[in-house]
């Protein structure tokens, strides 16, 4: 379904009451009604009048205004008089009513979607034929915009913080799509037509995955528990509808196996690929397969021929965090076995990115090993998981000990933040196990902050490095007197306020010894 004009804010106003009835217009009770000996009771007359009024209200929805028009269906705002509510009404176009596959797909869309009861899948209310014999179904009317429209708006101005906010909002919407797909997969349904135009985003956080007309319903596994829900496809297969070589879906975002027409090989990983294509569009503002014709797009999709994303680049379309680029590359792998094996796995990586909880690799070294060497380029920082290290700095050609580091302490981070050589060496004094924070992971964690916060951290690191270098080259400056006796707040008190790890009773204005920072 392609985007079209938005529905009118207010449809043609219906009557305040769909029941053409007034209590004051009821006929008077028959003689003897008060004692129950003759005629109907007052309650029975009221019930009869209400049911008679309901029977006179039209059961069919009335069309109000067009919302969107696609290749096979028209979506309009409709009014259901018996329930007194607005809905969306999708009707099969006359131009495809003579095509069995299109008619079947239309009916299946309603039947399959109706069986997927999930907060991020639009509810279907009714399926039927209108007065002209055209198939239609009604569903919840979603006020908002498509994901495609939100992606298009992402390139608007507003600065780095605004760009990060837009990116975060778009990926949060994509995570809700992951929830909808994971639910559908658990019921045996593969969507097979994921694209930004098929995702509706409401004004209050609602996200709905739409258009299930090309969905594949898998056979119920024989070992599945009898009480486990599974979507049923009530329509019979049409000749040739499941044969290999049949290509269906949207060429710009489809998986290679789908573009090759390998119908029997479509599974959850087919949707995983298209989720990666959606994230690709969020980061770049374009579909992966740009082409002059659908045929050319299909040929590109068959071999996974899409331009790589310039990680960390902007090029007029906002931030492209390296970790999100990595997620795209894995989700859009050519071979299904190289992709995320489930939507849940992809969603987990998206959540880890935003929560900044990457899993760190570890390194175990024997006593006496050099972990980092003074003067070398810094490619990683380290957290001591077990054991003890010693910090050594060269002075006059001889190593001088600056102290020892124990479990939980960090070293090497300054070289990553400032892109400068190591300021000291670190030696393992006992066998140690270290958690390794690589430059990529550091960049990812920095980008998981608000951009302005990441910039502040890097700026503070640079200033601290400059201050330490100047202090190391200059005579020791006299310690200034305390500003005021009443101003003796200690570092320990600051830690209690800021939740920092400072176990120190010195006043806040006391100098911190040079050498505590190890890059």
Residues 6+ apart with CB under 8 A from 24: none
In DSSP notation, 251-279 reads TTT--HHHHTT-GGG--HHHHHHHHHHHH
Over pLDDT 70: what percentage of the chain?
71
pLDDT value of position 191 = 97
In DSSP notation, 141-208 reads PPPEEEHHHHHHHTTS-SHHHHHHHHHHHHHHHHHHHHHHHHHHHHTTEE-----GGGEEEETTS-EE
Q: Are residues 403 and 304 in the same domain?
A: no
pLDDT value of position 514 = 40
Residues 6+ apart with CB under 8 A from 61: 78, 79, 80, 81, 87, 89, 138
pLDDT value of position 297 = 95
In DSSP notation, 386-413 reads ES-EEEEEEETTEEEEEEEE-TT-EESH
Mean of the pLDDT values across residues 96-122? 94
Burial class for 344, CB neighbours closer than 10 Å (0-12, 13-18, 19+): middle
What's the mean pLDDT when you consider all of the chain?
Answer: 81
Q: Are residues 443 and 459 in the same domain?
A: yes
8 Å CB contact between 477 and 491: no
Q: Which of 80, 75, 67, 76 is nearest to 14 (CA)?
A: 80
The rounded distance, in Å, linking the Cα atoms of 293 and 296 is 5
Q: Is the pLDDT of residue 391 over 90?
A: yes
Task: Determine, yes or no, domain membership for 19.
Answer: no
Task: Determine, yes or no, domain membership for 118.
Answer: yes
The rounded distance, in Å, linking the Cα atoms of 13 and 4 is 22
Q: Is the pLDDT of residue 8 over 50?
A: no
The rounded distance, in Å, linking the Cα atoms of 281 and 518 is 41
Q: Are residues 206 and 321 in the same domain?
A: yes
Residues 6+ apart with CB under 8 A from 152: 285
Range in 40-44, 195-199, 467-471 the model is least confident about: 467-471
Mean of the pLDDT values across residues 99-125? 95
Range of the domain at 130: 57-139
pLDDT band (50, 70, 90) for residue 417: confident
The rounded distance, in Å, linking the Cα atoms of 130 and 229 is 31
Mean of the pLDDT values across residues 185-205? 95
The rounded distance, in Å, linking the Cα atoms of 353 and 331 is 15
Mean of the pLDDT values across residues 17-37? 53
Tokens, residue 208: 């709905």
pLDDT value of position 163 = 62
8 Å CB contact between 466 and 423: no
Which of helix, strand or coil describes residue 54? helix
Q: Are residues 172 and 273 in the same domain?
A: yes
193 is catalytic: yes
Q: Are residues 376 and 396 in the same domain?
A: yes
Burial class for 20, CB neighbours closer than 10 Å (0-12, 13-18, 19+): exposed
User: Which CATH number do you get for residue 200?
Assistant: 1.10.510.10
For the stretch 326-346, pLDDT in tens is 999 999 999 999 999 999 999
Q: Are residues 241 and 128 in the same domain?
A: no
pLDDT band (50, 70, 90) for residue 353: confident
3-state class percentages of the chain: helix first, strand second, coil last, to nearest 5: 35, 20, 45
8 Å CB contact between 190 and 181: no
Task: Determine, yes or no, domain membership for 434.
Answer: yes
Which of 75-79, 379-383, 468-472 has maximum average pLDDT? 75-79
The rounded distance, in Å, linking the Cα atoms of 41 and 21 is 18
- Which tops the pLDDT comparison, 142 or 177? 177
pLDDT band (50, 70, 90) for residue 447: low
What is the Cβ-side half-sphere exposure of residue 264, based on CA atoms within 13 angstroms?
4
8 Å CB contact between 70 and 106: no
User: Which CATH number do you get for residue 79?
Assistant: 3.30.200.20
Q: Is the pLDDT of residue 434 over 50?
A: yes
Q: Are residues 209 and 152 in the same domain?
A: yes
pLDDT band (50, 70, 90) for residue 509: very low
8 Å CB contact between 258 and 249: yes
- Listed as own residue / partner, the contacts of 67-70 with beta carbons closer than 8 Å and 24 or more positions apart are 67/4, 67/5, 67/6, 67/7, 68/1, 68/2, 68/3, 68/4, 68/5, 69/1, 69/2, 69/4, 69/93, 70/1, 70/2
Last residue of a domain, one of 139, 160, 186: 139
Q: Are residues 447 and 415 in the same domain?
A: yes
pLDDT band (50, 70, 90) for residue 3: very low
Q: What is the pTM of this model?
A: 0.67
Last residue of a domain, one of 98, 119, 139: 139
Q: Are residues 192 and 167 in the same domain?
A: yes
pLDDT value of position 35 = 52
User: Which CATH number do you get for residue 421?
Assistant: 2.60.120.10
- DSSP structural state of residue 223: T
The rounded distance, in Å, linking the Cα atoms of 308 and 276 is 13
The rounded distance, in Å, linking the Cα atoms of 112 and 93 is 20
Mean of the pLDDT values across residues 75-88? 95
Task: Determine, yes or no, domain membership for 8.
Answer: no
Mean of the pLDDT values across residues 459-466? 67
For the stretch 372-385, pLDDT in tens is 999 898 878 898 98
Q: Are residues 244 and 310 in the same domain?
A: yes
pLDDT value of position 494 = 47
Task: Determine, yes or no, domain membership for 49.
Answer: no
pLDDT value of position 166 = 82
Q: How far is CA 472 from the centre of its chain?
A: 48
* 178-180-184-190 Cα dihedral, nearest 10 degrees: -60
Cβ atoms within 10 Å, residue 460: 11
- DSSP structural state of residue 60: S
Task: Determine, yes or no, domain membership for 400.
Answer: yes
> Strand pairing of 432-438 and 73-80?
unpaired
- What are the backbone dihedrals phi and psi of residue 374, each rounded to the nearest 5 degrees, phi first? -60, 135
The rounded distance, in Å, linking the Cα atoms of 184 and 257 is 20
State the total domains in the chain: 3
8 Å CB contact between 178 and 346: yes
Q: Are residues 332 and 422 in the same domain?
A: no
Task: Determine, yes or no, domain membership for 33.
Answer: no
Catalytically annotated residue among 179, 193, 211, 271 = 193
- What are the backbone dihedrals phi and psi of residue 368, each rounded to the nearest 5 degrees, phi first? 90, -10
For the stretch 237-262, pLDDT in tens is 777 666 666 788 899 999 999 999 99
Per-residue HEC secondary structure of 363-380 comes to: EEECCCCEEECCCCCCCE
Last residue of a domain, one of 305, 328, 355: 355
pLDDT band (50, 70, 90) for residue 481: low
pLDDT value of position 508 = 43
The rounded distance, in Å, linking the Cα atoms of 497 and 58 is 67
pLDDT value of position 378 = 80
Over pLDDT 90: what percentage of the chain?
48
Task: Determine, yes or no, domain membership for 254.
Answer: yes
pLDDT value of position 419 = 73
Q: Are residues 135 and 149 in the same domain?
A: no
């Amino acid at each position: 379904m392609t985007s079209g004009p938005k529905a009118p804010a207010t449809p043609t106003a219906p009557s305040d009451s769909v029941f053409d009835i007034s209590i004051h217009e009821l006929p008077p009770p028959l003689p003897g009604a008060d004692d129950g000996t003759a005629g109907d009771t007052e309650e029975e007359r009221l019930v009869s009048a209400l049911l008679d009024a309901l029977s006179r209200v039209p059961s069919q929805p009335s069309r109000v205004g067009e919302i969107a028009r696609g290749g096979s269906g028209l979506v309009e705002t409709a009014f259901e008089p018996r329930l007194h509510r607005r809905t969306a009404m999708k009707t099969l176009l006359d131009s495809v009513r003579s095509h069995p596959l299109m008619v079947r797909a239309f009916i299946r869309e309603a039947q399959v979607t109706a069986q997927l009861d999930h907060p991020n899948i639009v509810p279907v209310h009714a399926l039927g034929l209108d007065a002209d014999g055209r198939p239609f179904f009604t569903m919840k009317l979603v006020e908002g915009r498509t994901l495609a429209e939100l992606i298009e708006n992402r390139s608007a101005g507003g600065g780095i913080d605004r760009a990060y906010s837009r990116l975060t909002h778009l990926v949060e919407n994509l995570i809700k799509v992951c929830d909808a797909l994971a639910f559908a997969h658990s019921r045996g349904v593969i969507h097979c037509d994921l694209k930004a135009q098929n995702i509706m985003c409401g004004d209050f956080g609602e996200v709905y995955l739409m258009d299930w007309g090309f969905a594949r319903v898998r056979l119920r596994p024989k070992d599945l528990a009898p009480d486990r829900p599974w979507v049923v496809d009530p329509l019979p297969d049409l000749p040739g509808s499941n044969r290999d070589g049949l290509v269906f879906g949207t060429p710009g975002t489809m998986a290679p196996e789908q573009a090759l027409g390998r119908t029997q090989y479509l599974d959850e990983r087919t949707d995983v690929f298209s989720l990666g294509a959606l994230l690709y569009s969020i980061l770049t503002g374009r579909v992966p397969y740009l082409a002059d014709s659908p045929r050319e797009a299909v040929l590109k999709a068959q071999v996974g021929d899409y331009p790589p994303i310039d990680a960390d680049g902007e090029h007029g379309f906002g931030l492209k965090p390296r970790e999100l680029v990595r997620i795209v590359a894995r989700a859009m792998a050519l071979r299904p076995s190289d992709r995320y094996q489930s939507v849940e796995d992809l969603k987990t990586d998206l959540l880890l990115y935003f929560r900044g909880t990457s899993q760190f690799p570890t390194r175990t070294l024997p006593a006496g090993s050099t972990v980092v060497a003074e003067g070398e380029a810094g490619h990683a920082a380290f957290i001591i998981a077990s054991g003890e290290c010693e910090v050594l700095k060269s002075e006059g050609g001889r190593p001088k000990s600056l102290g020892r580091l124990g479990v939980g302490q960090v070293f090497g981070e300054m070289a990553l933040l400032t892109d400068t050589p190591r300021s000291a060496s670190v030696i393992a004094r006992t066998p140690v196990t270290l958690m390794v924070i690589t430059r990529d992971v550091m960049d990812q964690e920095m980008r998981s902050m608000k951009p302005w916060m990441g910039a502040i951290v890097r700026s503070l690191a640079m200033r601290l490095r400059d201050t330490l270098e100047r202090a190391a080259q200059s005579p020791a400056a006299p310690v200034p007197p305390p500003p005021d006796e009443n101003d003796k707040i200690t570092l320990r008190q600051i830690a209690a306020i800021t939740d920092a790890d400072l176990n120190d009773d010195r006043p806040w204005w006391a100098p911190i010894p040079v050498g505590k920072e190890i890059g």
